[in-house]
Amino acid sequence: MPYIGQNLIKVMIGQRRVGKSYLLFQLIDVIKSSNPNAPIIYINKEYHEFEGIQDHTSLNKYLANQIKAGVRNYIFIDEVQDIAGFEKSLRSLQAKGEHDIYITGSNAFLLSGELATYLSGRYIEFKVFSLTYSEFLNFRKEADSAEVFLKYLKFGGLPYLINMELNEHLVFDYLRNIYAAILFKDVVARHNIRNVSLLENLIRYVADNIGNLLSAKSISDFLKAQKISVSPNVILNYLSYLEEAFFLLKVNRAELQGKKILEIGQKYYFEELGLRHALLGYKPTDISKILENIVYLHLRVAGYNVHVGKYQDKEIDFVCERGNEKIYIQVTYLLMDDRTIQREFGNLELLADNYPKYVLSMDEDAGGNRNGIQHRHLRTFLRDLI
């Protein structure tokens, strides 16, 4: 809202169905509340009435017929990446400084790449995620409880789920349709992928290994063992396409002693865990992976830059930086024995700095600290940290 009326293009990016369109509608309502006669032009490339807008030429022609002369027009374009050369039109409109422009998109490369090339310094970008746990509670008007948290873990945080009964048959059917839209519209069609079965096998492998260190070579070797021959370069390309579509999130490792980003071995998490479960089914035995994914998403929404930490031969789940802030986090399901306690707290105890350190778990008696390391219940952490 602070940018309404400013000569910057407002860009909202994120996975399909996370609520970008409704954020546009809310902004339109805000504008109309202060200026009821404001000329609003809304284009949504998912609506059939806008099928004729295929490129910047047809976009220019449409806008020329809609723009009211002599006043500021408010232009909203949903799923702008489906318009070839859209950045040329936006550059021309923005250069004139006469209109207020808002766009959304579901492809990170097209938006960041094209806008950075043609509109450097002339736009501001907002990443839209699905609902965090605290947002999920507010959205559904429910109190925090183990039962509600399980619903969030199992079905995820896509806003439309508020219109559905939360049972596996209904929700997973809906989520599989979204998965298909992302796969075929944002990945297969955009990158002309012919070997769709390979792509789906890759997704399933990553889904089964969230939170594990992966490399293109290790994935390639696994697929070869399944009689699927594919080079590491193809794996890297496919993974990058899934990142661009906001389907997967890649987390690099950082050497904490040398402050160096390591090139080999990354972790991948799902932007929307419900999509993972729609593919593999919800498995309680995967609870540790699922909790780690949830915490990572929450940290990203909270604005942290997150790495996996490597210190000597030990791993720190998340090293999180936001401005001058830094926190370290270990995530585990339960501190069930001395070995688990030593691993989770011991890794953090090796770090000699004074930044806050947390062990998050689902133990009912979570609390207190050990050698300055805070033990927090995971649900409490998700409710409180933003």
d(CA 247, CA 32): 34
Q: What is the 3-state secondary structure (H, E, C) of the chain?
A: CCCCCCCCEEEEECCCCCCHHHHHHHHHHHHHHHCCCCCEEEEECCCHHHCCCCEHHHHHHHHHHHCCCCCCCEEEEECHHHCECHHHHHHHHHHHCCCEEEEEECCHHHHHHHHHHHCCCCEEEEECCCCCHHHHHHHHCCCCCHHHHHHHHHHCCCHHHHHCCCCHHHHHHHHHHHHHHHHHHHHHHHHCCCCHHHHHHHHHHHHHCCCCCECHHHHHHHHHHCCCCCCHHHHHHHHHHHHHCCCEEEEEEEECCCCEEEEEEEEEEECCHHHHHHHHCCCHHHHHHHHHHHHHHHHHHCCCEEEEEEECCEEEEEEEEECCEEEEEEECCCCCCHHHHHHHHHHHHCCCCCCCEEEEECCCCCCCEECCEEEEEHHHHHHHCC
Cα radius of gyration (the chain): 23
d(CA 281, CA 274): 9
Write the pLDDT tens digit of every residue in 300-336: 999 999 999 999 899 999 999 999 999 999 999 999 9
Return the percentage of the chain with pLDDT > 90, whole number: 88
Phi and psi for 264 in degrees, rounded to 5? -110, 130
Inform me whether the pLDDT recorded for 155 exceeds 90: yes
State the pTM of this model: 0.94
Higher pLDDT, 260 or 363: 363
Mean pLDDT score, 164-171: 94
Inform me whether the pLDDT recorded for 257 exceeds 90: no
Residue 325: per-residue pLDDT:
96
Write the pLDDT tens digit of every residue in 69-91: 999 999 999 999 999 999 999 98
Mean pLDDT score, 368-381: 96
- Compute the mean pLDDT over every residue in the chain, rounded to the nearest whole number: 94
Write the pLDDT tens digit of every residue in 20-56: 999 999 999 999 999 999 999 999 998 999 999 999 9
Residue 318: per-residue pLDDT:
98
Residue 149: per-residue pLDDT:
97
Inform me whether the pLDDT recorded for 109 exceeds 80: no
Residue 258: per-residue pLDDT:
72
Residue 384: per-residue pLDDT:
86
Domain 9-127 CATH superfamily: P-loop containing nucleotide triphosphate hydrolases (3.40.50.300)
Inform me whether the pLDDT recorded for 261 exceeds 90: no
d(CA 210, CA 199): 16
Inform me whether the pLDDT recorded for 117 exceeds 90: no
d(CA 237, CA 111): 18
Write the pLDDT tens digit of every residue in 331-354: 999 999 999 999 999 999 999 999
Residue 183: per-residue pLDDT:
97
d(CA 116, CA 9): 12
Higher pLDDT, 174 or 120: 174
Residue 113: per-residue pLDDT:
73
Mean pLDDT score, 272-293: 97
Inform me whether the pLDDT recorded for 264 exceeds 80: no
Inform me whether the pLDDT recorded for 94 exceeds 80: yes
In this structure, are residues 81 and 56 in contact, taking their beta carbons and an 8 Å threshold? Answer: no
d(CA 267, CA 195): 24
Mean pLDDT score, 51-66: 96
**Which of these ranges, 32-36, 118-122, 134-138, has the smallest mean pLDDT?**
118-122
Token pair 């930044």 is found at 355
Domain limits, the chain? 9-127, 133-384
Give the model's confidence band at 363: pLDDT under 50 very low, under 70 low, under 90 confident, else very high: very high
Residue 95: per-residue pLDDT:
86
Inform me whether the pLDDT recorded for 11 exceeds 80: yes
